[in-house]
Amino acid sequence: MPRTFRLKFNRIGPMCYIGHLDMMRYMQKAVMRAELDIRYSEGYHPHQIMSFAYPLGVGMETHGDYFDIDLLSYTISSGKVLFGDETALEDGIVSEVCSGIMRDLNAVMQEGTEILSVSLVPVKADNAMASVMAASYDVLLDDMTNFTADKIKNYLLQPEIMVEKEGKKGPVLKNIKEGIYNFALAENGHLYMYVCSGSSLNIKPADIVSSYLRYHQLEEIKIRHIIRLETYRSENGKLVPLGYD
Amino acid sequence: MHNKERKLALSDDILMTIEKPSRYIGGELNSVMKDKAKVKLRFAFCFPDLYEIGMSHLGISILYGLMNSYEDVWCERVYSPWKDLDAIMRIEKIPLFALESQEPVKSFDFLGFTLQYEMCYTNVLQVLDLSGIPYYAKDRTEDDPIVIGGGPCVYNPEPIADFFDLFYIGEGEVCYRPLFDLYEDCKEKGLSRKEFLRLASHIEGIYVPSLYEVVYRIDGTIESQKPVFEDVPQTVKKCIVKDFDHAYYNTKPVVPFLRATQDRIVLEVQRGCIRGCRFCQAGQIYKPIREKDPEMLKQYAKEMMKNTGYDEISLSSLSTSDYSHLPELLDYLIEECNAKKMNISLPSLRIDAFSLDVMKKVQDVKKVSVTFAPEAGSQRMRNVINKGLTIENILNGAEMAFRGGWNKVKLYFMLGLPGEKEDDIKAIPELCNEIAKLYYDTVPKSERHGKAEITASTSFFVPKPFTAFQWAPMDTMEHFIEKARLTKQTMLSQLNAKSLSYHWHEAGTTIIEGILARGDRKIAPVILEVYQNGNFFDAWTEEYNHDAWMDALEKYNCSLDFYIFRERYEEEIFPWDIIDAGVSKAYLYREWMNAKQEMVTPNCRQKCAGCGAASFGCGVCVEARI
């Protein structure tokens, strides 16, 4: 029985200029080089079954993105080939497999991306993309003088925060206030944002920045960087990181 | 964005404004980083076109690996920035940089260009311009890199001779080491650029254009082209790899982040061609054919899969069906690829029972087509061009394909071949019609997947140096368009017209390609003029500016009649006579006469045509014949 694994990765430096599709192709090639026994689609041109949690835009760095892969087998150091049957794997074996996958992939990875952790996804769990409920970000603008604790507090005290979002039938106005779980000045002087993500309401850091500037009647300020810090799923009503570590 | 290991030449702001920034960041898998303090020679290797095109080129990949295998050399890659970035670099005065180190090209020891098609010449000027290197070799100083050109276009380097310090004639695996040794030696001794170039002319395959004086006759043809010093050779003979089995091959090619035009593992199974098609330059300049040991290729395939992670593999050569170990190699690859879930992309093989069987194993017959390249519609014309494909070959192949489940056939033809008559043109649609008819006769209605889809495309013929047609006149643009129209009309009047479709290529670039292919040193200012008027990326149809070329030709009194529309005479000295490609002018002229008499010449494995390539003492020339 194939097992699904969730891989957490980072992307920093020049590699952030790669588009999402190219990032997927990059990971597929890494899986080939690592010779992992990944599951393929059927047909004349089979492709690896790999699902990314959240598309990474060109220019965005991340410390906490995820993708899922299905492995048909994995050979552990003792030479034993696993996943041949339905029996549940012991915890010790699972952690050996997970650290093995991480080691195999990191050995063939380019500078700028690294697999940070690997976990086994429970059988009935949602796939990576469907699991995404929130994400957190580190955001830095060219000029931070107008981002003060007071101004942020006033912005968040508005009864509603309307933002124009791209809907299926063109732009629609959406209230994002309930989706902003945290928006604050971080210790490093950057902005910290913890927001609702996924299919129901997908808030991007740029949504907050633009509505903030509008609320305070400020001129446009260029965003210098957006770094995704973590991606979250929901477990028993609580938000937890996407992995199952 | 913080935390960058390698400092990029372009700012974040620029990278976020341009299309596909990953073209310019380097750092791809298998790209080579070295400590610049520990190398003696830095080589910037440029394919003067877009990254996606240049990254698909096998030649650079081989030489990049080879040069970087030398401890004292660091070879980096350079491509033409697309127009969006080009404009920004001019405004912001950012010098063109190499991808690996991200450092300015101008600081390198060498700037090498591979010249694969004539329409890239304006891009060569773009690269020089953005690098801050003078266009003309004579204007360069000790601070400029040595500019060297290689690739098929340098078999007539004369139109661009004034832009280059050196040309490398032949296969890159052979003479770069002696050239680098000489360069390092000259640098150590403090010799000047001029002194280095003079000494370089003594190396096999190295042509130094500034050391030759060309004298023209009153009619514009060449009176003489002689070296200005006694120690400089009269002609420069191409250098080739003699032991092809043991030639260097790069099994760790750079894997681009974005999808290149050729985004797969490439195995070069052989170099050269036995066929001797009279229009084909590659068939002559890569002679003689040399095959690679299949065991070696299997080993390369295995290593490259491990080193790249590609999900596709393809074979490269001028005519893969002629590779004598093809069945063995394909059997191995099919098995290996099935196990690894990889695709095999087949080159266009000659359609026969074997190739159809292979295609069936690796492709979906309902989706793909079988391809024929008869190049000419009538048998008479195919004899003129020495294309050994007969109507029986085509119809038998097509019938087998139809029985095997295919219903799509692609055919490639040329218009404007020497001596072409109206009947030869009409024969193209007639052949297509016959193939469509064959489909309906062969496949019963109940077994058909829709109608037959026969697609013909024509390109316009350009006579090239070192071919039998180097003496031939080229057709005018008006003729080309008329001929394409005639083909189209005849296509529509066929009984099975509904199963036929027809495409043709633009005629404008063809004319300019003709001039650049057989031009002389008087063409250089024309190319510069076109470039300075803001035109480059001429190989891209939407960027090509025909009027700019016509105006520049007129300004410099370069007439189309002289360069392309006249038949050249037997004894005429050609601009490219300085180059010795290994095939003799006498042989080529015999072939020109054979063409006029519609006589076929057997291929190299059947019978030696005495072309002269035997002087290399390798490949088919020394193998036993069938």
Contact B4 A13 (CB under 8 A): yes
Q: Strand runs (DSSP E) across B72-165, as ranges?
A: 73-79, 110-114, 146-150
Cα B398 to chain centroid, rounded:
29
Burial of B520 (0-12, 13-18, 19+ CB in 10 A): buried
Distance to chain A for B319, nearest Cα, Å: 25
How much is the pLDDT for B3?
A: 40
Residue with tokens 């370089």: B200
Residue of B nearest to A141 (CA): B1
Residue of A nearest to B33 (CA): A111
Asked if A47 has any chain B CB less than 8 Å from its own CB, the reply is yes
Q: Tell me the mean pLDDT in the region B136-155.
A: 98
By C-alpha distance, which of B424, B431, B444, B411 is closest to B496? B431
pLDDT digits (tens, 9 = 90+) for B87-136: 999 999 999 999 999 999 999 999 999 999 999 999 999 999 999 999 99
Nearest CB partner across the interface for A12, out of B3, B25, B309: B3
- Stretch 345-364 of chain B: residues touching chain A, C-beta under 8 Å: 362-364
CB atoms within 10 A of CB B231: 10
The residues facing A136 across adjacent strands are A194, A230
Element (H, E) at B623: none
B5: pLDDT confidence band, cut at 50, 70 and 90? Answer: low
Asked if B366 has any chain A CB less than 8 Å from its own CB, the reply is no
- Cα–Cα distance measured from residue B232 to residue A84, given in angstroms and rounded to the nearest whole number: 72
- Cα–Cα distance measured from residue B298 to residue B315, given in angstroms and rounded to the nearest whole number: 12
By C-alpha distance, which of B365, B367, B270 is closest to B319? B270
Distance to chain B for A60, nearest Cα, Å: 9
Residue B177 has pLDDT above 60, yes or no: yes
- The 3-class SS string of B35-84 reads CHHHCCEEEEEEECCCHHHHCCCHHHHHHHHHHHHCCCEEEEEEECCCHH
Residue with tokens 């995404």: A132
Distance to chain A for B364, nearest Cα, Å: 6
- Cα–Cα distance measured from residue B209 to residue B212, given in angstroms and rounded to the nearest whole number: 6
Residue of A nearest to B341 (CA): A46
Asked if B302 has any chain A CB less than 8 Å from its own CB, the reply is no
How much is the pLDDT for A1?
A: 86
**Contact indicator for B210, B197 with CB cutoff of 8 Å:** yes
HSE-CB for B468 with a 13 A CA cutoff: 27
**Contact indicator for A144, A212 with CB cutoff of 8 Å:** no
| Structure tokens, B109 | 């020891």
Which of helix, strand or coil describes residue A2? coil
**Contact indicator for B221, B572 with CB cutoff of 8 Å:** yes
CB atoms within 10 A of CB B443: 18
| Structure tokens, A192 | 């910290």
- Cα–Cα distance measured from residue B50 to residue B99, given in angstroms and rounded to the nearest whole number: 13
Cβ-based contacts of A141 with chain B (< 8 Å): none
CA geometry: angle at B271 spanning B270 and B272, to 5°? 125
Contact A18 B307 (CB under 8 A): no
**Contact indicator for B439, B459 with CB cutoff of 8 Å:** no
Asked if A57 has any chain B CB less than 8 Å from its own CB, the reply is no
Q: Tell me the mean pLDDT in the region B152-178.
A: 98
Cβ contacts of residue B375 below 8 Å, gap of 6+? B277, B279, B382, B385, B387, B389, B412, B413, B414, B417
- Cα–Cα distance measured from residue A174 to residue A157, given in angstroms and rounded to the nearest whole number: 17
> Tell me, what DSSP letter sits at residue A112?
T
Asked if B309 has any chain A CB less than 8 Å from its own CB, the reply is yes
**C-alpha to C-alpha distances, A159 to A177, B123, B519, nearest whole angstrom:** 8, 58, 75
ipTM: 0.92
- Cα–Cα distance measured from residue A117 to residue A102, given in angstroms and rounded to the nearest whole number: 7
Contact A46 B341 (CB under 8 A): yes
Residue B2 has pLDDT above 70, yes or no: no
Cβ-based contacts of A58 with chain B (< 8 Å): 16, 21
pTM for this entry = 0.95
Query: What type of residue sits at position A212?
Result: Y
| Structure tokens, B464 | 């090239």
Residue from A17, A25, A225 to probe the interface with B (highest B Cβ count within 10 Å): A17
- Stretch 2-41 of chain A: residues touching chain B, C-beta under 8 Å: 12-19, 22, 25-26, 28-33, 35, 40
CA-based torsion, A208, B17, B76, B155: positive or negative: positive
Cβ-based contacts of A28 with chain B (< 8 Å): 309, 311
Asked if A108 has any chain B CB less than 8 Å from its own CB, the reply is yes
- Cα–Cα distance measured from residue B243 to residue B245, given in angstroms and rounded to the nearest whole number: 6
Cβ contacts of residue B542 below 8 Å, gap of 6+? none
How much is the pLDDT for B510?
A: 93
How much is the pLDDT for B625?
A: 59
Cα A157 to chain centroid, rounded:
29
> How many Cβ pairs closer than 8 A exist between chain A and B?
89
- Cα–Cα distance measured from residue B487 to residue B442, given in angstroms and rounded to the nearest whole number: 26
- Cα–Cα distance measured from residue B114 to residue B170, given in angstroms and rounded to the nearest whole number: 12
Phi, psi of B570 (to 5 degrees): -55, -50
Cβ contacts of residue B530 below 8 Å, gap of 6+? B122, B538, B545, B548, B549, B552
Asked if B310 has any chain A CB less than 8 Å from its own CB, the reply is yes
Cβ-based contacts of A46 with chain B (< 8 Å): 341
Cβ contacts of residue A21 below 8 Å, gap of 6+? none
Q: Tell me the mean pLDDT in the region B195-223.
A: 97
**Helical ranges in B404-467 per DSSP H:** 422-442
Q: Tell me the mean pLDDT in the region B56-78.
A: 97
Query: What type of residue sits at position B29?
Result: L
Asked if A73 has any chain B CB less than 8 Å from its own CB, the reply is no
Residue stretches of chain A with pLDDT short of 70? none
Distance to chain B for A217, nearest Cα, Å: 25
The residues facing A170 across adjacent strands are A167
Burial of B405 (0-12, 13-18, 19+ CB in 10 A): middle
The residues facing B270 across adjacent strands are B291
Which of helix, strand or coil describes residue B378? coil
CB atoms within 10 A of CB A108: 17
Burial of A40 (0-12, 13-18, 19+ CB in 10 A): middle
Cβ contacts of residue B620 below 8 Å, gap of 6+? B272, B274, B288, B289, B290, B604, B605
The residues facing A113 across adjacent strands are A11
> Tell me, what DSSP letter sits at residue B573?
P
> Tell me, what DSSP letter sits at residue B515?
H
How much is the pLDDT for B366?
A: 77
How much is the pLDDT for A87?
A: 79
Torsion angle (degrees, nearest 10) of CA B121, B127, B128, B129? 110
